[in-house]
Amino acid sequence: MRIELLNDQRDSLGEGPLWDVAEQRLYWIDSYGPAVYSCDARGGDRKSWRVPEPIGSLALREKGGAIVALRSGFFTLDFDTGAVERIAQTQPGELRPRLNDGKVDRQGRFLAGSMDFEESDPVGALFRLDPDLSVHELDRGIVCSNGPCFSPDGGTLYFADTGRRVIYAYDYDTGTGAVRSRRVFASFEGMRGLPDGATVDAEGFVWSVEVYSGRLVRFDPNGVIDRIVNLPVESTTSLTFGGPELDVVYVTSMARPYQGSYHRHREAGGLFAVTGLGVRGLPEPRFLG
């Protein structure tokens, strides 16, 4: 195994890495930049786009450009012009929630959840944006939405509430996008950190970034820890599989202080590439709208 610092720009809150198979490019965000970034597999040919509000995640569109989950709701982003246009507000009139992590399901719908800006109260919710650009609420009572990802067959949605130190699993209706039967998939009680971004590999195992501990935790489909990978910074936030063979794990991190303390590693906020794990990921779908 090898860990390489791919980009040392020190994102305030690096998040949402996404490898696009069609372009062979990596996308990620700085939530409090706020900005979207893109580069090739080796970190070169970097591009960036500013957005007007804190950003939680993005989905690439089949027709070009992206859907971005900003503080107040879903927006479109035109990569050619940089124009950002609102689709819908998700929790209008509520001051504390902001949209956070999101992922496209196997059918091309975009799911994103919100979080409490203060990360203390369950004011967040989970939303689904359909290709017709309609918005549907799937769940609520969430402190901090993170790590949505899907089993290889698309029938299980994994979703973390970082504030509750837990990853849930839902039965996911691939035909309608409805969820049911929420249950605890994995608890982080007693672990060093909290569940943050996540993805599912080609074997159906769930990889979760343990924020504030600098570890990648791989769970088998029953929620049992299979493997732990230590990283050089504690402020890791999210991950995705990418590269030409989908066998590189790209990991984001944050440089912003946590509870008033600065991170002790100078690489905090960097973008990392982990190779040699012997595991491949799955292609991430594009949003069909």
Model confidence band, residue 8 (pLDDT cutoffs 50, 70, 90): confident
Indicate if the pLDDT at residue 261 is higher than 90: no
* Mean pLDDT value of segment 74-85: 98
Binding residues: 15, 98, 100, 118, 146, 196
Model confidence band, residue 222 (pLDDT cutoffs 50, 70, 90): very high
Indicate if the pLDDT at residue 24 is higher than 90: yes
Q: What is the DSSP letter of 105?
A: -
| Peptide linkage before 34 cis (omega within 30 of 0) | yes
In the three-class reduction of DSSP (H, G, I as helix; E, B as strand; rest coil), residue 139 is classed as strand
Residues above pLDDT 70, as percent of the chain = 97
Binding residues for substrate: 98, 100, 118
Q: What is the pLDDT of residue 266?
A: 72
Indicate if the pLDDT at residue 89 is higher than 60: yes
- Per-residue pLDDT of 169-216, as tens digits, reads 999 999 999 999 999 999 999 999 999 999 999 999 999 999 999 999
Indicate if the pLDDT at residue 260 is higher than 60: no
Closest residue by Cα to residue 140 from 153, 154, 127: 127
| Fold (topology level) of 2-275 | Neuraminidase (2.120.10)
Model confidence band, residue 259 (pLDDT cutoffs 50, 70, 90): low
Q: What is the pLDDT of residue 267?
A: 83
201-205 long-range CB contacts below 8 Å, 24 or more apart? 201/241, 201/279, 201/280, 201/281, 201/282, 202/152, 202/246, 202/279, 202/280, 202/281, 202/282, 203/279, 204/151, 204/152, 205/279
> Alpha carbon 121 to chain centroid distance?
21
185: left (phi over 0), alpha (psi -120 to 50) or beta: alpha
> Alpha carbon 43 to chain centroid distance?
19
- Per-residue pLDDT of 126-180, as tens digits, reads 999 999 999 999 999 999 999 999 999 999 999 999 999 999 999 999 999 999 9
The model's pTM: 0.96
Model confidence band, residue 265 (pLDDT cutoffs 50, 70, 90): low
Indicate if the pLDDT at residue 14 is higher than 60: yes
Whether 240 and 199 have beta carbons less than 8 Å apart is answered as yes
Catalytic residue list: 196
Indicate if the pLDDT at residue 256 is higher than 90: no
Binding residues for a divalent metal cation: 15, 146, 196
- 265 burial (CB, 10 Å; 0-12 / 13-18 / 19+) is middle
Whether 183 and 198 have beta carbons less than 8 Å apart is answered as no
What average pLDDT does the chain have?
Answer: 96
Q: How many residues does the chain have?
A: 289
Model confidence band, residue 39 (pLDDT cutoffs 50, 70, 90): very high
CA distance 157 to 171: 6
Q: Rg (Cα) of the chain, in Å, rounded?
A: 17
Whether 250 and 277 have beta carbons less than 8 Å apart is answered as no
Buried b (16+ CB within 10 A) or exposed e, 204-226: eebbbbbbbbbbbbbbebeeeee
* Mean pLDDT value of segment 226-242: 96
Residue ranges per domain, the chain? 2-275
